[in-house]
Amino acid sequence: QAVAAIAQSMGAKFILGRVKPGKIVSVFSTPIVGKGDLADVVIFMVSRCPDFDGGTLVALKKKTGEEAWSRHMTELSWCSPTAIVDQHGKSWLLMGDHGGRVFLIDGKSGEIVHTIVLNGIIEASPAIFGNRAVLATRAGTIYGLELR
């Protein structure tokens, strides 16, 4: 409902899906308001939609609210995706999930291009410092990942 309300407030007719009575759908993460090569979209992580244990990463067109792309995620994620821009100006998304997986995602298409698995649930968003991503898990470990 939150994504639909946001999209409707932008004058859009976007509806991610109908929610059955009693079903929980949530947006715990902060959306990415695109810039650079993603300037035409806003990207949301919607938890528990379409299924309770998963979610949907969705990019909506800023002008119309229409879906630019979406990616079903099999594990729940409360993590805000983090945008990273490479030396060529291409935007990538980095995010984690409750399965401990970290995804590198093509920001223009939503395609998952690389995945690694860490020990523990990832709830916090990755922090980026130069060519390093820092992620923490509920298992009590802080990871530093080199971005190349």
8 phi and psi, to 5 degrees?
-65, -35
Predicted confidence (pLDDT) at residue 144 exceeds the cutoff of 80: yes
pLDDT in tens, 66-89: 899 999 888 878 888 999 999 999
List the structure tokens of 16: 């991610």
Please give the torsion angle defined by the CA atoms of residues 116, 117, 123 and 124, in that order, rounded to the nearest 10 degrees: -40
In the prediction, which pLDDT does 25 show?
60
**Two tokens at 8?**
């409707």
What would the mean pLDDT of 96-109 be, rounded to a whole number? 95
Tell me how far the alpha carbon of residue 77 is from its chain's centroid. Answer: 8
Residue 87 near residue 148 (C-beta atoms within 8 A)? no
Mean pLDDT score of the chain: 83
Higher pLDDT among residues 28 and 76, named by residue: 76
Q: What average pLDDT does range 90-106 have in this prediction? A: 95
pLDDT at 20 over 60: no
Q: What are phi and psi of 9, to 5 degrees?
A: -65, -20
| pLDDT exceeds cutoff 50 at 50 | yes
Residue 10: its pLDDT value, please?
A: 43
